[in-house]
Structures are given as C-alpha cells and as structure tokens.
Structure 1
Amino acid sequence: MSAPYFHRPADGWVGDVIPFAHADRAFLFYLHDRRDPARPGTSWNLYTTSDFASYDYEGVSLPHGGLDEQDLNAYTGSIVEDEDGAIHLFYTGQNPDFLTPDGDLPAQVVMHATSTDGMQSWTKHHDETFGAPEGYDAADFRDPFVFRPTAEEPWQMLVATRELSGPDRRRGVIARLVSDDLVTWKPETPFWAPGRYLMHECPEVFELGGHWYLVYSEFSDAFLTRYRISDNPFGPWRVPEHDTIDGRGLYAAKSLELGGRRYFAGWIPTREGESDDGAWQWAGNLAVHEVTQGPDGELGFGMPHALRASFTEQQTLEFTPYLGAWFGSPTSPEVSVPDGYALTLSPPAPESFLLSVDLVIGPETTECGVLLRAEGDEGYLIRLEPRRGRMVFDRWPRRHTGPAQWQISGDVAHQVELERPAHLAPGPHRLSVLVDGTSCIAYLDDKVAMSARIYDRSAGCVGLFVGEGTVAFTAVSVATQS
C-alpha cells in the first residue's frame, strides 16, 4: 500500500528516480523493483505531481525488453526534449545473458527511445545502442545523463563508468560523449576523473543561481549522494563544506526544476526483515527534498513547501516532565541541566504526522532533540550535537549482542551512516520531522536533511530532551493532513 508522504506502489519498490519537468508537472520515472527471485526484468514506472504534495501513480511507462533482448533490465538514464518537441529517453540496457566481449560479466550499454505523444508511449531505437568506448569497463557503463549547456553547443552525454587500470576502488570516472542530433555520439575526453571513488552513479549537471553543479552517488567511501560546484559546466569542481544531500537513508538522488524551484528525488531504502537491525536493501520509498541556495553556492535541503502547507490540522503539544526540573509552560518547556539530562513527554502522537519544533539552544550545550514513538526514556532519537556540529539518528534500547548488561552496542554511539554535519550555533533553530509508517525525515533549519527507517516501534509519545545544556523549546506542534 502506498504511503501518503513517502510513496511506493502496491506491487513493488521505488529504485533510482529519473526526474523530468514537462507541461508544469514533474514526471518522476523510477526503476520498478519487484523483488521477484525469478528476476523477470526492470521497467521504468512513473509518478507525476504538480506540487510534491500529492501524486498520481501512472504504472509502467517504459516497458523492459524480453528475455532475448538487451534491455531485459531497463536501468537508469535521463530525458531531454529537442528543438522540435520530441522527447528523448536514454537508458541503460542490461541482460544477464548478454556478456561483455571478454565473456566475464553482463555488458551495460546505452539505449535510446523517443516519444512524440507527451510520453504516453515510447519507440525504442535498438539500432542506436552502443557500449563502452575503448578504455572504459564494458560491464560498468551506465546511467547516461544528457544535457546541453547552451542551445548553440552540442548535446553532452555523461556516463558513469570505470577505467581499466589503477587501484580498484579509485577507477571511477564520468565519461563524456557529444552529439549534434541525439543519435550519433562521439567519445570525448573524460568529464571527471578524480581518482577518488569506485563509481560515480547517476551523474547529473545543472545550473542554479549562476553556479554549475555536478551531482553523483557513490558507495565506496559511503552510500551517499554528493555534489560539487563550479563556475562553468565542465569544471574545475570545488568541494563545498558540506557536500552531501542526505545520509545513507536516501540514495541516487537526482533533480529537476519546477515552478522556479529545484527538487531532489531519491529513495529511502528498506531494511531486511523490516527490522531496525536489518541490512539496508536496494530500493524503497520515494522521497523528495526542496533545494535552497546560499550566497557561496552551497545547497540546503528542506521539505517541499507545498507538502508542508498541506498539513492543515495542527495541534500544539503539551508536555509533562519525566526527568529533570523543567520550567516555562507545558507548551513551551525550558530546562537547564549543565551536568545532567532532562526529558519531557507529550501524549501519544499519531502514526503519521509532521512535527515542528522551534528551539533556542544555549551556549555550551552538548545535546538536545526529540524522541519519537517514545515510551518513557525509550524510542527513536533525533539528536542535535552542537559541540560536534552534527545531527544524528539513534534509538534506545540499541541492539543487544548478548545477555550481559553491557552488551548493547554501546561502542556504536548512533546510526553512524545517517549522521549529518550541521551548523548548530547558540540561538534559535527549527527542527521539522516528517513521520510516516516506517519512514521519517528530519529537516534542520530547512538546510540539512536526514532520512531514516523506524520499524520496531509503531506508536508512542513525542519527547523533548536536553543533555548537559540549556534549551528553550518555544513552540512544538504536531500536524496532519486533512
């Protein structure tokens, strides 16, 4: 069943998203994962939206090929519109029975389809299929992204691939090809070869506010979507202070512009066994962040404005102290615990809601934040740590590794793969947490996003906590959609 905020179809899960804006709507194509052991093929399915608050599910858009066709698996790519209004879809074709020239692994190739009826149907052009040019790994040649810096320049195609020599984890490169007609493609010098990662999946380039951005996802240092900034579309690229879009909880994010705003769409991965301790899996639920831009070009990531506005049923929460000497009012609690810990709890919250917390952090505060689905001092924690400059996701109790009291994964201070760097200077901040079923996203000051899964606890209170510090929670509310 599709969740109201974080969507997925009833018969599958959302993999890599390929966003495209057309006729004032966002077309969110995605790789449809059925998790069928028979592996019958991967199609491009589609969600559409005009505001990222409500969605229409359109089902299969680009069907995958048959067992004897190169595109049994139609993997990630991109979409552009040409001067005549025809829409071109470039995608990765892969079939386990179609091997590379050396016969070791399935080949990955670039394939082409077009539409002249507003993407109601696609015509595949199998005769235009091509694989990796000389010098690149034919088994890793995927995720073609096509763009044109200006109308006077040739079309550019970026492809995630690998060089054939060098340390294995450093061979990732983004290849570049050019075309005047979107049919014939000529290899050029590599677009980006930093000698840094194993692979740069789902590459993308766009311009925003006078800056150019390169976006890619990597899984060798960490499972993250990263970005770089430049003054022109071909680099050189600089690394911003905080170069990630989210943590491990959102992967393969790519963007589009709609209504003068830019949005990133990706997927929140599920966990094996639908358990907090389960391994992360490929594919999950659709999630979208709205972009803000700082004066130096650094990007921030917040909740889509129309989605926030859709939460019209708002309730101010009243809190009852559980630990510590709280003062202020039940709706605006404050506490000062220079060398201790304090917790205050609300009545039970709905299963799905938007939590908004305005707080003022005092100097030299070690930690503060919110407890979700709480029962006493147990639950999921969104913890702000000003001294360490980060927002983290934690839970209590943690995983037990044995019968002894100390066997509680105490050496893992939080879910480190979800950790987000953040500026947490003393003063006012806003924390927004969107909770829905087994998914949640925390947004700090509409600049920092942290996505997570919450399986093992399905209900409970909202808690506010402070550890070694002084914090005033000036306004706390829960809202639902009408």
Structure 2
Amino acid sequence: MKYRNIITIASVFFSLVSCSQDETYIGGSITGGESEITNIYPVPPRLWIGGADEPYYSAGYTGDIMPFFDNGKFHIYFLHDAQNKPAGKGFHDIHEFQSTDLAHFTYEGQMIPYGKTTEADFGVGTGSVVKVGNLYYFYYTGHNGIPEFLQSNARESVLCATSSDLKNWTKKSSFKITAPAGYYNFDFRDPHVFFNEQLNKYSMLVSTQTEPGRKAVILHFTTADPASGNWEVQAPIYTTTPQENYLMMECADIFKMGNYWYLFFSENWSGSKGTHYKMATSINGPWMTPQNDMIDGEYFYAGKTASNGNKRYVFGWGTRKTPETDLGNKDWAGNMVIHELTQNQDGTLGTQAPQAVKDYFTKKTTVEVDGTTGNTTVNASTYSLNSTTDKAIVTFKPIGKRAKIKAKLSLGNTAGSAGFVFHTNNSGSYAKIVFDAAKNAIIGYNSASQETTRIKFQFQTNTKYDVELITEGSMVVLYINGKAALTNRIYGREKYKWGLISEGQNSTVTNLQVTQPE
C-alpha cells in the first residue's frame, strides 16, 4: 500500500528512562514527532522513530485498536504491526493516532514499547484506557511464547502502565494478572476496564477459556481502587453457547446506549468471523443474540468503541492481504476503519460512515460510461440492468484513489444479485460487492469469484436502498441505509474501471453520484 501527503509538523524525541522498578517511555519521534495523515483509513506513516540508541522505521499496519475519548479528542491507540520485524525483537508495540472528527488524523508515535525476550510483554496485545482521578491507567496484554519464558511463566497476562498526560507512560513492573484457577493461562488477554456504576467499582473484562473444557468466556474482575492493583475474579460475564462454540471471544467491549447494554467481541475461527455483539436490558444480562449479530463482515476485525458523549463509534481494522494483490490471502492488521453506530427501534445496532467522512468528499465528478454488456439502458444518472442468464454490466472510467459513490439501488425480483464491480487489472478481471436477494446478504467477491466477506441484510423487491461506498486506495467500505456496513479490500481498484452489475436480477440504479475531496 502506498500513502502520500504525510507531513511532518513537530519535533519530539523518544527516550527510555529507568525509574526505580518502573520504565517510563516518552512518546514522540526522532525525525519529526507528530505527523498529519491525510488518509481516512490510516496506517502508520513512514518515519524513523524510537530512542536515540535504537531507532526503527515506523512503516507498518494498524492492528487492534483501543480508542479513548478525552478532553474533546479521540486518542486512538493501536497495535503497530511493523513491515519489518528484526529477529529477536518484540512485536505489536502500542502506537497512537489522534483525531477530533475521525476524518483527519495525526500520528503520535510509539506510546508503550514491547519488552525483552525475558519479559511478559515481549509481544504486546490489546487493552484499554481508563481514567481514575488525575491518572490514566492503560491495561494491556503481555504475550511471550518463547519456550524458555514459558518454563516458569504464563504465555499471556494482563499488565499495566500509567500516565498523567496520555503520552508519557510508565510500566508498572509489579503489576501482573494471570489466569486464575479454572481458566487457561495460554489464552488470557484483551483487558477492557470501565467504571461499573451498578457495582460502584471498576470492572475488567478478559478474554480467556475455561480449563479444563476449553470453553470461550469473557471473564470478569472487579476492584474498588485500581491504584491498589488488587483485582478480584468474578463469574464470567458471558460464556459461549454450545451452538456458537467459539474458540475465543477477543477484544471485548461493553457499553450502554439508550435502554440497552451491548457486549462486543471478535471471533476469528468459526464460519462467521468478525466483530459480534450481544444485547441486554441489564449489564448482568441475560444476553440476547440479534438476528444479525455482526457489526461488519470478516474484513473488519477487533471492533472496539468510544463515545464523544454524543455519538458512539466502533474502531476496527480492515484486513490486508498477503501478497498485496486481489487474490492474496487474508492477513492480520491493515487500515483503520471507523463506523458510527446507530440504534434501531428494537435496540439492534446499525452502522453508517462518520459525518466528517461523508463531508470530506465535496467535489462532484463526472461519471463517464466506459462500456456496457448485456441488456442495459443508460439514461442520465439512471441505469437499468436486466439479466436472466447473461450478466448485465455498465462500466465507468477510473475514479482514482479517494472517492465517494452514492446511489439508490432497487432489486426487481427475489433471485439473483446486483451491485458494484471494481476492475483489478486491464484485462477485465473484477472484484464485486453485490446485494444477493436469494441469500439476503451483501457479499464481497474477489476477482476469482471467491467469496471474501458478507453480512446479512433482508432485501425487499422494488425498494430503493440508499447506498454509499467510501473508497481510498484498496479500501472499499459499503454502507446501506445507515443500517449496515461491509468492509472490503480490492487491490488495483483506484487504477482501473468500475461499474454496476446484475446477474439473474433486474436492477435499477438512480441518482448515481461520485464526489472526491477538494
């Protein structure tokens, strides 16, 4: 992936300082400090960062995201997945983006470094931030699978760092929580901490498994005072059902919106990979599973939320592929993707693009027809595609790196599919995102016609659906009716033609518009 317009705007240094038994790490950058990133789906910029004794290149991908809103600003911490990982070095140190509107970002550099081969956080995992008084606590996962370390230590544990300014973090070397009796210390991660008003205590959710039995659970700990470091284990807040049989429920999050509580987690081993949610009228459950319990498809992972006090957003990463081609294999980490959460009358959740992202695209662009295939009719910005056995396709000229596509799309019958195609080369191969009336799903396919991602959606015939696609580089995120989102990865999209397609379906597209940033 290539990204431009990364502008250095300040100069701060990283330094590593010992302070009794704690380590203090000063965030910043050797060659420039903060960087403005003109990407709505950002990855770390290409800068040299780190301490003066051990700088390294920051180029990489955005992994699990840990958002925290404070004083009018989103502090978007994430696991940094470096492009180049030197042998013997740790991985997934915590870096930060900042934003006030979720369409423009600054890169703040590394916040919490990984540890040494002998330390519990040789690999760093997901966590969360909570403010207690004037101090911020960052609870995160320590991961070390080195055989010598495992001889006398758990593979995963909950660790903690503190800060008074959300930038200079001090690791608390005396703090560690490992899996209590009855739970599996090999998989014990992703602490999510919040103040539980019902208990008048702080709660911590941890993803783990029972031992024996290996059932996925979201374990619950409580403390009256995080400063004490004493957390008491409680009963799990949720255990996977025999029907689900999830292996792990990662990156848990819990919050209240309106009259409902929502429990988020991500699962990557079943037939429905991605970010799931449960809902209840009480923080103690019972937890109900909505008919569509997915926030997005499997190319949006590890979704965790933050609210600015007015709206709540879910932050995840859009999966990259290795090799980085349309037919590459799904890999860990990628670009950050953010959805605004909406709430339906029945309490279920929907998603839409953040308003600032919608407003980012202001320049109208002419939609130029490049060609047609099959039974198609083009009349101004209205396109009719009628297909029984043969495909009906209308293609348009390329629209470049960043563009927003808006349209109203209706389906004429309950069979077949219709949607959008994005060419991946000059020879005519294309990926597609279609509305499948028979499967009641929005489905993404690569250029080999292999399904890559889907989300449930109940379609009705002769109903106009408001569709919005936000594209940036290889990222294509589709929104429909402010109710659902489907994140896709399509390499080459910005260089080649795109269009509309109908297969075994009579579809109509009206009000087709393309806008780009000024």
For normalisation by structure 1, the TM-score amounts to 0.89
- For residues 203-282 of structure 1, the aligned pairs below 5 Å read 203-222=252-271, 223-282=273-332
What's the offset of the Cα at 1:360? 2.8
- Range 269-278 or range 48-57, more displaced: 269-278
What's the offset of the Cα at 1:32? 0.9
- For residues 430-449 of structure 1, the aligned pairs below 5 Å read 430-449=466-485
Letter in structure 1 aligned against 2:298: R
Separation of aligned partners in 2, 1:321 and 1:452: 25
Which of residues 167, 173, 184 is equivalent to 2:230?
A: 184
Mark the CA change 1:69 to 1:362 in structure 2 (over 3 Å): closer, same or farther: same
Find out whether 1:81 has 2:117 as its counterpart. Answer: no
- For residues 189-208 of structure 1, the aligned pairs below 5 Å read 189-195=235-241, 196-208=245-257
Mark the CA change 1:462 to 1:455 in structure 2 (over 3 Å): closer, same or farther: closer
Find out whether 1:450 has 2:486 as its counterpart. Answer: yes
Which of residues 105, 124, 144 is equivalent to 1:55?
A: 105
Find out whether 1:112 has 2:112 as its counterpart. Answer: no
Separation of aligned partners in 2, 1:205 and 1:448: 20
Q: Which runs of 5+ in 1 are unaligned?
A: 399-412
| 2:454 aligned residue | 419
Report if aligned partners of 2:157, 2:177 keep a CA contact under 8 Å in 1: yes
What's the offset of the Cα at 1:281? 1.4
Separation of aligned partners in 2, 1:153 and 1:246: 33
- Range 249-258 or range 276-285, more displaced: 276-285
Mark the CA change 1:335 to 1:197 in structure 2 (over 3 Å): closer, same or farther: closer
Mark the CA change 1:360 to 1:96 in structure 2 (over 3 Å): closer, same or farther: closer
Separation of aligned partners in 2, 1:345 and 1:255: 37
Percent identity, aligned pairs only? 28
- Range 38-47 or range 11-20, more displaced: 38-47
Partner SS, residue 213 of structure 1: strand
| 1:31 aligned residue | 79
Mark the CA change 1:243 to 1:311 in structure 2 (over 3 Å): closer, same or farther: same
Separation of aligned partners in 2, 1:307 and 1:179: 39
Separation of aligned partners in 1, 2:118 and 2:138: 21
Separation of aligned partners in 2, 1:159 and 1:350: 43
Mark the CA change 1:133 to 1:260 in structure 2 (over 3 Å): closer, same or farther: same
Separation of aligned partners in 1, 2:107 and 2:435: 36
- For residues 59-458 of structure 1, the aligned pairs below 5 Å read 59-82=109-132, 84-97=133-146, 103=151, 107-116=155-164, 118-150=165-197, 153-166=200-213, 168=214, 171-182=215-226, 183-195=229-241, 196-222=245-271, 223-319=273-369, 322-327=372-377, 329-337=379-387, 340-364=390-414, 366-373=416-423, 378-396=429-447, 398=448, 414-415=450-451, 417-426=452-461, 427-455=463-491
| 1:478 aligned residue | 514
Q: Which runs of 5+ in 2 are unaligned?
A: 5-38, 47-58
Mark the CA change 1:99 to 1:79 in structure 2 (over 3 Å): closer, same or farther: farther
Partner SS, residue 393 of structure 2: strand
Letter in structure 1 aligned against 2:41: F
Mark the CA change 1:212 to 1:479 in structure 2 (over 3 Å): closer, same or farther: same
Mark the CA change 1:382 to 1:135 in structure 2 (over 3 Å): closer, same or farther: same
Separation of aligned partners in 2, 1:270 and 1:475: 32
Separation of aligned partners in 2, 1:291 and 1:352: 23
Mark the CA change 1:152 to 1:335 in structure 2 (over 3 Å): closer, same or farther: closer
Deviations 1:425-445 (A, max 9, x none): 121102222222222212222
Separation of aligned partners in 2, 1:140 and 1:104: 16
Separation of aligned partners in 2, 1:303 and 1:442: 9
Separation of aligned partners in 1, 2:454 and 2:290: 17
Report if aligned partners of 2:321, 2:331 keep a CA contact under 8 Å in 1: yes
Mark the CA change 1:119 to 1:457 in structure 2 (over 3 Å): closer, same or farther: closer
Report if aligned partners of 2:470, 2:477 keep a CA contact under 8 Å in 1: yes
How many residues align? The count is 460
Report if aligned partners of 1:319, 1:330 keep a CA contact under 8 Å in 2: no
